[in-house]
Amino acid sequence: MKEYKLYIDGKWVSSQSKKTFLSLNPANEKPIGKFQAGNSDDVEQAVEAAEKAFEQWSETPAPKRGEILFKVAALLRKNKERLARLMTMEMGKVIKEARGDVQEAIDIAEYMAGEGRRLFGFTTPSELKDKVCMTIRRPMGVVALITPWNFPIAIPAWKIMPALICGNTIVFKPSSDTPLCAIEFIKILEQAVPKGVINLVTGSAEDVGIPLIKHRKIKAISFTGSRDSGRFVIENAGIKKVGLELGGKNPIIVMDDADLDLAVDGVIWGGYGTTGQRCTAASRVIVHKKIKSKFQELLVQRIRKLKVGDGLKKETDVGPLINQKAVEKTHSYIEVGQKEGARLAIGGQKIKGKGYFYEPTLFTDVICDMRIAQEEIFGPVVSLLEAEDLDEAIKIANSVSYGLSSSIYTSSIRNAWIAVQKIDAGLTYVNSSTIGSEAHLPFGGVKETGNGTREAGILGIDEFSEFKTVYFDYSGKLQKATID
């Protein structure tokens, strides 16, 4: 079995721990390789390498850094199919979705490459004569990027590309469920980015993640993961910039004037795409009481047709969960939902045999204060709730502690705009599912979904740069702002 290495200061090296761990194919539970179980000593070396590379990289003109990112985008495009197949083998998502994951990385690389000729500050008038006021952007230094397994190339790219274009250097810790995707991504970056600028340390949260979070030379952390893990990051990072992208419990509202076939399409994609393992998954569907029975019937018919299996097979609609722990968590929520009084309309069972497969599941007769309607399950489980009208639907949508994505299906512009204004979420889709973010628009949420940062788009630059305010006084005398 092949053993993979860490990437530190432009070299592939073994961990100082002398330990390894396995990554398994979730469709058949077969190991795909051995990976380094990094430790705090490896983190220290990676931080030192990044710190050493920072001066030269940050002084490289931003348009030149942009040229490097354009090269990365071209390399990703050339390797798109290979990376997608690898992703399906390691993470489990169906091959079409895996291609989309790589495409997101291509898109964000191209977008951030273009930022190399922008990175805008602003100018503004001074209150005094013969004085100019302006702002410029500055890189922060060494940044730590900690990413999850569900988008093992797209999410790292969402962080790596803006961090690089802003002039930062990087220590990257991927999920231990998808280390090979991270390694193959780094091999592509290695062909374009100078040594030391980006460093990869695989390993556990305890042995790699915590030393990164607490490291005094790390100037910023960007973390995507669970709410509880995000709380740990913010409590232990110390005085440094922290960006958090955490969970979601995302609603789709289906009004009585909606195109029901279109809404069913949106629920199937939002609820069961990526086997429900997205922070933007549509885990709650809030349906107007007038059409609930009909909508439920249509939805169950569609769920029944979904084919569960290996994501490399063309006929597969829903792949496996990431690991056995995810299967057990999903099934525990099925038991919770039934005890709370919700009714299983379809699904609710583990699929026997090799692989971490679970039936696409729909609960009906769900009430908004039930745990299955409040807590993030991260599996192929959707809860159907009923609302009297739009006001009640929005109240139910806002009843959770998360606020990432949301959706409404309606033919009324008024309904749509009221939902856009009143739903507490970072994203709202009209007549589309809760999934579909584009690289040139900000991504992120409110409430316990994060701490206010946004990824992608121009706001992605804000996460990885600092503003410096600059004053030029050419009056030739001492002027005192707010006093003279």
48 is a catalytic site residue: no
Nearest 5 degrees, angle CA 9-CA 14-CA 18? 140
- Diameter of the chain measured on Cα atoms: 82
Nearest 5 degrees, angle CA 370-CA 372-CA 375? 100
Q: Any idea of the CA torsion for 229, 230, 234, 240, to the nearest 10 degrees?
A: 110
DSSP for 199-253, please give it: EE--S-IIIIIHHHHH-TT--EEEEES-HHHHHHHHHHS-SSEEEEE-----EEE
Matching residue, tokens 């280390």: 179
Q: How many helices (H) and strands (E) does the chain have?
A: 14, 19
* Closest to 354 in 3D by CA, of 309, 305, 307, 312: 309
315 is a catalytic site residue: no
Which stretches of 242-389 are DSSP H helices?
A: 260-272, 292-305, 324-340
C-alpha–C-alpha distance, residues 344 and 352, integer Å: 19
Q: Which of 110, 279, 368, 463 is catalytic?
A: 279
Q: Which of 97, 110, 115, 245 is catalytic?
A: 245
Q: Could you give the 3-state DSSP secondary structure of residue 32?
A: strand
Annotated catalytic sites, by residue? Answer: 245, 279
